[in-house]
Amino acid sequence: MPSESPLVTPDTQIRGLMGLLPARARPYALLARFDRPIGWWLLFWPCAWGLGLSGEVIRRWDLLLWFLLGAIAMRGAGCVYNDIIDRDLDAQVERTRNRPLASGAVSLKAAWFWLASLCLIGLAVLLQLKLFAAGVALGSLALVAAYPFMKRITWWPQAWLGLVFSWGALVAWAAVEGELSLPILLLYAGSIFWVIGYDTIYAVQDAEDDALVGIRSSARALGRNIKPGVAAFYLIAIALWAAAFWQIRPQWIVMAALAPAALHLLWQVITLKTGDGSDALTKFRSNRTAGFLMFCACATVGLAG
């Protein structure tokens, strides 16, 4: 007999503030994943890192708030777009079959309207940026549009997600520096590997269902080597972040700022249970803390530099 599937946490749950919304509004909030703030935290942190490393995080605290609003809105828009493209696949996967589009709670036409509404909020944030930074931000749209199709054509859609979710670092740096230079490119590259690592952990939840419906992922590609694979991605991320810090302040003492984030990522790898979907989700969500620790490191180095 086949082995019993690991515990899977449903992707759509009405809880907390979601339960206080009017019944007609709940499917739209769930479609944008407002019930799962971890997504917009993970989109926001690279923005905060870029601003922190620039040394302007205190003077331009207003940008930090605009980036937070933009992360919430655009992560929601990305989820709506992803569900529009994946609605048939979502219906075949245990964790996602209750998503509003897959279950029929929201119509396709209404989903497109909701997507446009969220994008208008993103536009309001875009208008707060200088022309060059706005152009950098718009450069991510092609990557965002292509992402839902990556799981159909590559075993590494997590790498594409890394390109998308790390883009805010470039935008934040461009907003204050007016250019893209080596420190932020190294920070951005490190963030890509961080995303590959944590999204591989996230993909552990769906590995069995993904195999049944033909969805590709880094978790499936790594097979039994998930822990060493994630460890390698995190190690590369830390090395690239260290190189970015060195560009700002070439002194060994700056590496101490990176230590808390590095130790947190090490903890994730050591304690990860690859056969337990619930533990994988817990470790994935803990990257909100990793992002905060990295923000503290970037702000410390940026202000000291």
Q: For residue range 99-128, what is the model confidence (pLDDT) as tens digits?
A: 888 888 889 999 999 999 999 999 999 999
Going by pLDDT thresholds of 50, 70 and 90, the confidence category of residue 299 is very high
Summarize the confidence of residues 36-63 as an average pLDDT. Answer: 96
Going by pLDDT thresholds of 50, 70 and 90, the confidence category of residue 227 is very high
Q: Give the pLDDT confidence score for residue 127 in this predicted structure.
A: 94
Q: Give the pLDDT confidence score for residue 43 in this predicted structure.
A: 97
Summarize the confidence of residues 245-256 as an average pLDDT. Answer: 94
Q: Give the pLDDT confidence score for residue 217 in this predicted structure.
A: 83
Summarize the confidence of residues 144-167 as an average pLDDT. Answer: 91
Q: Give the pLDDT confidence score for residue 142 in this predicted structure.
A: 93
Q: Give the pLDDT confidence score for residue 13 in this predicted structure.
A: 57
Q: Give the pLDDT confidence score for residue 246 in this predicted structure.
A: 97
pLDDT, averaged across the chain: 89
Which one is predicted more confidently, 213 or 268?
268
Q: Give the pLDDT confidence score for residue 16 in this predicted structure.
A: 60
Residue % of the chain over a pLDDT of 90: 68
Going by pLDDT thresholds of 50, 70 and 90, the confidence category of residue 20 is confident
Q: What pTM value is reported for the model?
A: 0.88
Residue 293 C-alpha from the chain's centroid: 16
